[in-house]
Amino acid sequence: MSNNGLLQQRGFDVSVVAFDLDGTLVDTLPDLHTATILTLNDLGYDPVSADVVRQHIGQGIEYLLLELFKDLGIQIEATDLNNIAQQFRAHYARHVCDDSELFPGIEHVLKTLQHRGLKMACLTNKSELFTGPILNKLGIRSYFQEVICGDTLEKRKPDPLPLRVLASRFGVDTRHVLMVGDSKTDTACARNAGAPVVCVPFGYRSGMALSDLDCDAILGVAEDLLNMIEKA
């Protein structure tokens, strides 16, 4: 973590707050776990725990499956991976928001930032097919003026392109876009784009310690974000 600390980050001139989805706004693990179990069952494999799935969330379905099979000691070909990913997507589409829920304090944060006139966006590596239903079912889509998904552009996080495009759409410099995330994917995207970034205490970090993330501040609870940009 950067030595700047939370108090000094209040000096940031923040015009836009960009939130990651999985692990930051929403705990999507339960439904991703369900889709994983159903996919493994289709293939004749035993189920895995939610903690195993947690380690590989945030970089797309193919990545999740590839790493999962590595954990299981199973080698699969690229063509097989594509077919398995399609099976996974079919299961996930049927269960995309059965048990997923907002993390504590998130709705209050979104309402308060909206009331203060802050512009907000959702910047996720999740595909558009699943992002929309989750945001809509949980009642938070209306908070975001922009939503950029993993398949919206030709590149996704940790590449800086999504954040740069987002800043351009709002007509601001990336220095004035605060990225809020939970993983190295989010912090790297922000750093690559020259944007400030803070991390939530919950989420999915592929085994990394929260303190090892290259961020400007770590929130103790979601509501800490309100104090950080109170005067922005």
The helix (run of H) or strand (run of E) holding residue 169 is helix 161-170
Q: Which of 20, 27, 182, 186 is catalytic?
A: 20
| Annotation says 20 is catalytic | yes
Q: How many CA atoms lie within 13 A of 149 on its CB side?
A: 13
d(CA 33, CA 199): 23
d(CA 162, CA 168): 10
d(CA 180, CA 199): 6
Cis peptide before 158 (omega within 30 of 0): yes
Q: Which active-site residues does the annotation give?
A: 20
